[in-house]
Chain A
Amino acid sequence: MNRMLSRFLRNRGALVGGTVVLLFILAALAAPVLAPYDPFKTSFLAIRHPPSAAYLLGTDELGRDILSRMLYGARASLLAGVVSVSIAASIGIPIGLMAGFYGGLVDGIISRVTDALLAIPFLILAIALAAFLGPSLTNAMVAIGLSAMPIFARLTRGQVMSVKAEDYVEGARAIGLPNRWIILRYILPNALPPVLIQASLTIATAIIAEASLSFLGLGQQPPNPSWGSMLNTAKNYMTQAPWMSISPGLAIFLVVLGFNLLGDGLRDAFDPREE
């Protein structure tokens, strides 16, 4: 563990990524303190003002401060990333565990169902689910979580099948330990680390997916701020107010890059080939 931590700390990209993510999390948590204006307050006199000393990132089509909406929008995006992945992992990991551990018909059925879910492109499945559930941030998170679930199921299944073949698991079986004990004490602790690393990378995908759904009008609904919905509005004012398009997209890019760097760093640190 110390070696892995040391490898992680030596990876500059991972440290930069982690710092970026941490800054965004802190900004989101401190939004009520950091935001200079009420993100919902409209002002007819401040409609589509360019960036200035009074409005650092400018204002939108209703005169709302973009910086304040960005800070509150960070909450929606980060929450969407974490909650979606939590939903995906909490359903996918047990399903993958059952498929990998029991094998046979159980594995066959679960694998065919996950293959079928993976056959529908992620975003199209998320759009269809979000449309069925109704447009809202909560429903978008559920839709993304359900769409990402097969990835965790498949990954967990592979890890469990690999760990199941280890000598210590065979030994545990040989001395008559019950299946539940073997799964909880031997298989899960050894199968989970790569899955958790994948979770950090999937957070990045989930943040982009939430932004995409909000951009299409299926995620966070107005007047609640979200980076994706801000871009949805901004595209209608590209010539009159180009600043409306820049900041939300840049924020999505930076936070996703941060999570990707962090995830890559974790994967490299835990890669046994690096030992």
Chain B
Amino acid sequence: MFAIIGRRLLVAIPTVILVSMLVFSLQKLLPGDPIATIAGEERDPQVIAYLHQKYHLDDPIPVQYIAWVGQIVQGDLGVSLRTDEPVLSLIAQKLPVTIELALFAMTFALCIGIPMGILAAVRKDTWIDTAATVIALSGLSVPNFWLGIMLILLVSVKFGLLPASGFVPPSQNLWLNIQTIIMPAFVLGNALAASITRHTRAAMVGVLRSDYIRTARAKGLRGRVVVLKHALRNALIPIVTIATLLFGELLGGAVLTEQVFTIPGFGKLIVDAVFNRDYAVVQGVVLCTAVGFIVMNLAADVLYTIINPRLRHA
């Protein structure tokens, strides 16, 4: 097992290095001169020269990259060109908001997706299975930003049940925090729930065909015991690892949700940075997201190795 984990770690390192190169080269290709934006309308050549020197923009690209990596390793992701705030500090402010949103979304997705998938598998080829499949496919097909707009129209505008936008930190007011997070979490978790339903159904259908399930039934065990105690336990192995992988994708999906509900999270940070040509923030956010994704993939691999007895002793 440790050999497998070690191999995964060795593969992850060059991936992280390549990601850093991609992220570095990406922001270099952004349009417009960010220094011209900061220097203001007067565009004083001395100011521009000073800013170019301050942000090492006159150095050759490989030198800039090595300097940038050196800073990253020391925990310095640079400074926002617009607000002069450290990028790490900005990320530290915004990331907890997105993580809270993602956790709520994942909880909703698991609570809906797994039971629906089990039901569809147990009632395979019946109207229940068809309905669950159609609902899951619809969940995958609906654009989450439109779902958000529709929910705002219905829940906030028409019935006034929940706030349409904004975010209240839990430390400020827990009840208001929950009220502001419910709709965005539902929107973000919707496609995830659909995906988990499909994977759960596929895993359960496969497991329910197994010989040991047939034996359990032949022994006279009740249906619920067969499904929940014997089948689900084995079907959960791939589902848990897939859910871990999907958690990483939530960070990408949060971009649109945070735009619709005006949530000051990670996703909104990158969109604002792109439009403001704040390339230091774009670099930092994309790099953190990619590294987070690699870590989640690694965690999924480790989890799969731990849970699956056949791999534990490999």
Question: Is the Cβ of B150 less than 8 Å from the Cβ of A245?
Answer: yes
Asked whether B294 lies within 8 Å of A128 as measured between CB atoms, the reply is no
Rounded to whole angstroms, the CA-CA distance of A234 and B275 in the bound complex is 20
**What is A's interface to B at a CB cutoff of 8 Å?**
112-113, 115-117, 119-125, 127-129, 131-132, 134, 204, 208, 211-212, 215-218, 231, 234-235, 238-239, 242, 245-246, 248-249, 252-253, 256-257, 260-261, 264
In B139-154, the 8 Å CB interface with A consists of 140-143, 145-147, 149-150, 152-153
Contacting residues, chain A, for B251 (C-beta < 8 A): 121, 124
Query: A256 to chain B: which residues have CB within 8 Å?
Result: 141-143
Q: Decide if B15 touches A115 in the complex (CB within 8 Å).
A: yes
A134 to B286 CA separation, bound complex (whole angstroms): 18
- Does B185 count as interface, using CB distance less than 8 angstroms? no
Which A residues lie within 8 Å of B31 (CB)? Answer: 131-132, 134
Residues of B within 8 A of A122 (CB): 249, 252
- 7 additional contacts (CB under 8 A) given A115-B11, A119-B19: A121-B248, A121-B252, A123-B252, A127-B270, A211-B145, A234-B149, A242-B153
Q: Give the residues in chain B near A112, CB-CB below 8 Å.
A: 14-15, 18
What residues of B have a CB within 8 angstroms of the CB of A127 in the complex? 255, 270-271, 274
The 6 closest A-B CB pairs, nearest first, are A121-B252, A249-B146, A116-B18, A257-B141, A256-B141, A131-B274
CA distance A125 to B252 in the complex (A): 9
**Complex partner residue of B19 from A116, A248, A257, A260, CB under 8 angstroms:** A116
Query: Which residue from A128, A208, A211 sits with its C-beta under 8 Å from B26?
Result: A128
Closest residue to A124 on the B side, CB-wise?
B252
Task: Collect the chain A residues with CB atoms within 8 Å of residue B153's CB.
Answer: 238, 242, 245
Q: Does B138 contact A (CB under 8 A)?
A: yes
From DSSP, what is the main secondary structure of chain B's interface residues? Answer: helix
Cβ B143 vs Cβ A124 within 8 A: no
Q: Shortest Cβ distance from A150 into chain B, in angstroms?
A: 11
The reply on B118 being an interface residue by CB < 8 A is no
Contacts of B145 in A (CB 8 A): 211-212, 215, 231
Please, which residues of chain A bring their CB within 8 A of the CB of B112?
none
Residues of A within 8 A of B152 (CB): 238
Q: Can you report 25 A-B residue pairs in the complex whose CB atoms are below 8 A from each other?
A: A115-B11, A116-B15, A117-B22, A119-B293, A120-B286, A121-B248, A121-B249, A122-B252, A124-B270, A124-B289, A131-B31, A131-B275, A204-B141, A215-B145, A218-B274, A234-B149, A238-B164, A242-B153, A245-B149, A253-B138, A253-B143, A257-B137, A257-B138, A260-B137, A264-B137
User: CB of B260 within 8 A of chain A?
Assistant: yes
**CB <8 Å contact, A260 and B140:** yes
Once the chains are docked, how many angstroms separate the CA of A125 from the CA of B141? 21
A12 to nearest B CB, angstroms?
9
A123 pairs with B253, CB closer than 8 A: yes
Q: How far is the CB of A91 from chain B (nearest CB, A)?
A: 16
B275-301 contact mask (Cβ, 8 Å, vs A): 1 or 0: 100000010011001110110010000
Are A245 and B146 interface neighbours, CB within 8 A? yes
Chain B residues with Cβ under 8 A from A117's Cβ? 22
Task: Report A-chain residues with C-beta under 8 Å of the C-beta of B141.
Answer: 204, 253, 256-257, 260
Q: Are B290 and A120 in contact (CB under 8 A)?
A: yes
Q: Is the CB of B18 within 8 A of A208?
A: no
How many angstroms from the CA of A242 to the CA of B282 in the assembled complex?
34
In the bound complex, CA of A124 to CA of B266 (Å): 11
Min C-beta distance of A21 to chain B, whole Å: 12
When the two chains form the complex, which single residue of A120, A217, A253 contacts B22, counting CB atoms closer than 8 Å? A120
**Contact flag A119-B15 (CB < 8 Å), given A134-B31, A242-B153:** yes
B57 interface residue (CB < 8 Å to A):
no
User: Could you tell me the distance between the alpha carbons of A77 and B282 in the complex, rounded to whole angstroms?
Assistant: 27
Q: Which of B18, B138, B146, B286 meets A124, CB within 8 Å?
A: B286
**With a CB–CB cut-off of 8 A, which chain B residues contact A260?**
137, 140-141
**Nearest CB of chain A from residue B289's CB, rounded to whole Å:** 6
